[in-house]
Structure 1
Amino acid sequence: MPFDLPVFEPADSAPEIPAALPLVVLLTGFTDAGGAVAQTVEYLRDGLEHQLVRRYHNDVLLDYRARRPIVSFDQDHLTDYRPPRLELSLARDTLGHPFLLLAGYEPDFAWDAFVRSVRAFVEAAGVLSVTWVHAIGMPVPHTRPIGATVSGTRAALTEAHSVWKPHTQVPATAGHLLEYRLAEDGVSVAGFVLLIPHYLGDTEYPAAAIAALDSITAATGLVFDVDGLRDDNEEFLGKVAEQIAASEELGRMLQGLEERYDAYMAGATHASPLLHEADLPSADELAAELERFLANRPGGDEHGPLA
């Protein structure tokens, strides 16, 4: 694997970058419960104005056999080839405020080279802050607000928005490494881990994308119109509610999740009820009950063009 090659190329007509802009980092791949990141990338790419600054090289960073590009076939010939994209862009929020967006697949290879390239850009561009978001499945109910674990160098942000502060070890992502190195550089950086109901982890859960965008807003002050996502979420939750109302077993399962969540949020002294799943339904059990209507709402595909 040619890791000695440059990991990116500048855009042919890259825009001038104003100083002191926030950088938002969204990498799909290892963990993306509820399709939080994939949906947010799609929203930001398709719904907002943006100009390409640099494109990262798939041949250096991407494992093609793990994330197969999409090819279109029309009867007897191929019509399109869509490889995954990892790009840095200058974007504008709903109110026209500029920000930097690094979005796409999480690099499979050359993490150190990738992180060095971002660190160098952050320094050269005078980036004001860096915010990244990802999502994991947790035994929490969909009937309660989506919480987050917040890490980084912004103590006030962590204090205000981090509902779960574990002492643990987890498999690292490229986002973790980037946060770690930026913190070493003294950069203002925040990482949001969204805590998504584990039984909805394999779906495209609109509330997960809303929570991701709200987290970015909390960290940067950027504004996003999520009315469309809210409409989608109301429809999604309506179908979930129908299925739960029709199943006494599902109702008991949900009640157990709610009771544990409420006890934890009320400051219960017993250890981390969010993690004690012995008498709670497994993700497979709940997913099986909900499969009938969730099957027609495919989850974020890390192997697709946004991956």
Structure 2
Amino acid sequence: MTDGNGFLGGRLLVVAFEGWNDAGEAATGAVRTLKDLLDMREIMTVDPELYFDYQFNRPTISTNEDGLRVIEWPSATMFGPRAPGAASVPLAEDAELRVSGTNAGNIYLLLGTEPSRSWKSFAAEVFDAALAADVTGVVFLGAMLADVPHTRPISIFVSSDNALVRSELQIERSSYEGPVGILSILSDASETAGIPTLSIWASVPHYVHNAPSPKAMLALIDKLEEVIDVVIPRGNLVTEAAEWESGIDTLAAEDEEMAAYIAQLEQARDTVDSPEASGEAIAQEFEKYLRKRGDGRDGRADGRTGPDGPRQ
């Protein structure tokens, strides 16, 4: 730690990437929510020519407000507060429209698409910018497809590779070994640069993988708000999460096989969450998950920040 105030006391970079690390668009959705609510400016954008395969991450074209056709290239951008260090205490009339709290002026964001190549160079460029901005901690957000029911609270896994962060926040270190995504590469680069890290992951029901998951996004924002010590307005997200769950309920009611499968997931989840469940039993559930998903199939697990985090 650099300032004696612990992980929460300095400038925090919150990171999310589209792609393998972003089931249900939950992680990028949470960071976009922050970006829309905070008064931020662009600090750095990487050159897409260096890091992206356009046949894999294709550019998109759209019409802007002036009626012009514009091409948008895949990239990654870092944002910072226009007034670093300043507390954002909203006025009464906009109290529900802005992030507030004593740490709001210390939040930086990194948002983009997972690069296709040159990950080492990409990480070096990102952390050159982070060090220049005096970032003292990094929070990685991710979401993975998992065998979990949509009817129960979204499972959140929190872990850190930094011993001081683990001690301060009473969390554990992930023990996963296997394929990784860009978040694990950036985490390793961050720790090497002397910037401590924290990873927050949400589990998204795999049987609704084609649609955004506002419930998972909401769960990440809830945990993020707790970690970065700010108050984040939820807007319509609570209503959207309820409608998402209700919509899946309607589909399941028309499909007996799907309903039976969800009931099995609910029973398994309730067993793990029951007061009678031992730590060993919970550990066995996670180990079974890892054996099944740890090879990265379907984007269901990502490196050290996967589901083998703290067994809470």
Q: TM-score range with shorter-chain normalisation? A: 0.7 to 0.9
Equivalenced residue count is 257
Distance 1:138 1:182, change over 3 A: same
1:186 deviation in Å? 3.7
Please give the alpha-carbon distance, in whole angstroms, between the structure 2 residues aligned to 1:133 and 1:211: 11
1:256 deviation in Å? 0.8
Please give the alpha-carbon distance, in whole angstroms, between the structure 2 residues aligned to 1:157 and 1:272: 27
1:66 deviation in Å? 0.7
Larger deviation, residues 221-230 vs 266-275:
266-275
Please give the alpha-carbon distance, in whole angstroms, between the structure 2 residues aligned to 1:119 and 1:80: 30
The one-letter amino acid of 1:180's match is D
Residue 58 of structure 2 is aligned with which of 64, 68, 74? Answer: 68
Please give the alpha-carbon distance, in whole angstroms, between the structure 2 residues aligned to 1:199 and 1:53: 38
Please give the alpha-carbon distance, in whole angstroms, between the structure 1 residues aligned to 2:236 and 2:63: 32
Residue 181 of structure 2 is aligned with which of 167, 173, 181? Answer: 173
Aligned equivalent of 1:8: none
1:39 deviation in Å? 2.2
Residue 121 of structure 1 is aligned with which of 98, 110, 129? Answer: 129
Aligned equivalent of 1:90: 80
Identity %: 24
The one-letter amino acid of 1:114's match is F
Please give the alpha-carbon distance, in whole angstroms, between the structure 2 residues aligned to 1:103 and 1:250: 35
Aligned equivalent of 2:152: 144
Check whether the contact 2:149–2:262 (CA below 8 A) recurs between aligned residues: yes
Please give the alpha-carbon distance, in whole angstroms, between the structure 2 residues aligned to 1:157 and 1:194: 22
Larger deviation, residues 213-222 vs 251-260:
213-222
Distance 1:23 1:276, change over 3 A: closer
Q: For 1:51-92, what per-residue CA distance to the aligned partner results, in whole angstroms no more than 9, with x for missing partners?
A: 111111111111111111112489xx9722122231111147
Residue 20 of structure 1 is aligned with which of 10, 30, 46? Answer: 10
Distance 1:31 1:125, change over 3 A: closer
Aligned equivalent of 2:93: none
Aligned equivalent of 1:215: 223
Aligned equivalent of 2:113: 105
Structure 1: 5+ residue stretches without partners: 1-18, 279-283, 285-307
Residue 192 of structure 1 is aligned with which of 196, 200, 203? Answer: 200
The one-letter amino acid of 1:209's match is M
1:204 deviation in Å? 0.7
Check whether the contact 1:33–1:200 (CA below 8 A) recurs between aligned residues: no
Matches within 5 A, 1:19-38: 20-38=10-28
What secondary structure sits across from 2:236 in the alignment? helix
What secondary structure sits across from 1:272 in the alignment? helix
Matches within 5 A, 1:204-243: 204-243=212-251
1:190 deviation in Å? 0.4
Distance 1:159 1:260, change over 3 A: farther
Q: TM-score, normalised by structure 1?
A: 0.73
Aligned equivalent of 1:265: 273
Q: For 1:156-189, what per-residue CA distance to the aligned partner results, in whole angstroms no more than 9, with x for missing partners?
A: 57645x7xx8743332112101112222344221
Distance 1:90 1:73, change over 3 A: closer
The one-letter amino acid of 1:155's match is R
Aligned equivalent of 2:264: 256
1:192 deviation in Å? 1.6
Please give the alpha-carbon distance, in whole angstroms, between the structure 1 residues aligned to 2:174 and 2:146: 13
Larger deviation, residues 30-39 vs 116-125:
116-125
Q: TM-score, normalised by structure 2?
A: 0.72
Please give the alpha-carbon distance, in whole angstroms, between the structure 2 residues aligned to 1:150 and 1:262: 20
1:36 deviation in Å? 0.9
Please give the alpha-carbon distance, in whole angstroms, between the structure 1 residues aligned to 2:138 and 2:285: 29
Distance 1:233 1:120, change over 3 A: same
Aligned equivalent of 1:155: 166
Q: Which runs of 4+ in 1 moved over 4 A?
A: 156-160
1:220 deviation in Å? 1.2
Distance 1:41 1:84, change over 3 A: farther
Check whether the contact 1:150–1:157 (CA below 8 A) recurs between aligned residues: no
Structure 2: 5+ residue stretches without partners: 1-8, 82-87, 89-97, 293-297, 299-312
The one-letter amino acid of 1:254's match is I
CA root-mean-square deviation? 3.1
Please give the alpha-carbon distance, in whole angstroms, between the structure 2 residues aligned to 1:80 and 1:261: 46
Residue 54 of structure 1 is aligned with which of 44, 49, 53? Answer: 44
